[in-house]
Amino acid sequence: MTPQIPTPSLGSSPVPASRRTGEARRRGDELLSIGAVLAFLRDDFPEVTISKIRFLEAEGLVEPQRTPSGYRKFSAADVERLAYVLRMQRDHYLPLRVIREHLDAIERGEQPPALPGAEARPGPLEEADRELAAAAAVAGGVRLGRAELIAAAEAQERELAEWEAYGLVQPGPDGGYDGEALQIARLVAELGRFGLEPRHLRAMKAAAEREVALVEQVVAPLRRHRNPQTRAHAEATARELATLSVRLHAAMVQAGLRARS
């Protein structure tokens, strides 16, 4: 059965949805500010933030209208899409790419892909693998300027300057940023929404540098080899070691959290 996008109860005041249902039915075509949308969504998604809504907009999951002065205005359909996206993330752990495919299929009147069952929900190890795959997918073909990186990461200039000051994100020799820098910037921004500042992430940066040194110890002799196939094997080995390192880190964090629960 095709999953239906839930129809929200909309209104103009940032009050609980249960108090706005009657008014919403009378004025269902009203456009809402981002603050009113946040107030509605928080009934079902307490963790949602304005930054999260802006991020989903930047990812193309919703396209609110803009006033002449630049303020976002959301329709009922926009809020329905946001609720659907948040529900698919929370209940089915779907990545945004897959959720976008679902929404596109629904808009075309087609059956979207089957939803994964509870047993298929990814754990930290699977999430680590997905992050690596996502970083690898965008690393080669992306080259962003400073303003483009800030927009893609849903950040501000002062935030990027702080990330660079702590060595978390670095531009290339040409001053641009590649796909891996974009991936790091997005992750740092997401962590920041939980209150983790760049100074808190210095330990992660130091740990990553130590892991890089370990990988280099293994592959450096292969990279110096004259045989091109051996040098290619060095790169494949480096990628495999990086994957194992990230998965080990995720497993250790998972075990540590479970021990404290």
Give the model confidence (pLDDT) of 185-213 as tens digits. Answer: 988 988 887 788 999 999 989 988 999 99
Least trusted range by pLDDT, from 31-35, 83-87, 150-154: 150-154
- Output the average pLDDT for the chain: 78
State how far the Cα of 90 lies from the Cα of 99, in Å rounded to an integer.
12
Question: Which amino acid makes up residue 8?
Answer: P
**pTM for the full model?**
0.51
Structure tokens at 176: 């641009």
User: pLDDT tens across 37-95, in order?
Assistant: 999 998 888 878 887 888 888 888 999 999 988 899 999 999 999 999 999 888 877 77
State how far the Cα of 88 lies from the Cα of 225, in Å rounded to an integer.
48
3-state secondary structure of 66: strand
Domains of the chain, start order: 17-120 (1.10.1660.10), 124-260 (no CATH)
Evaluate the CA torsion angle 101, 104, 108, 109 in order and state its sign. Answer: positive
Residue 135 has pLDDT above 60, yes or no: no
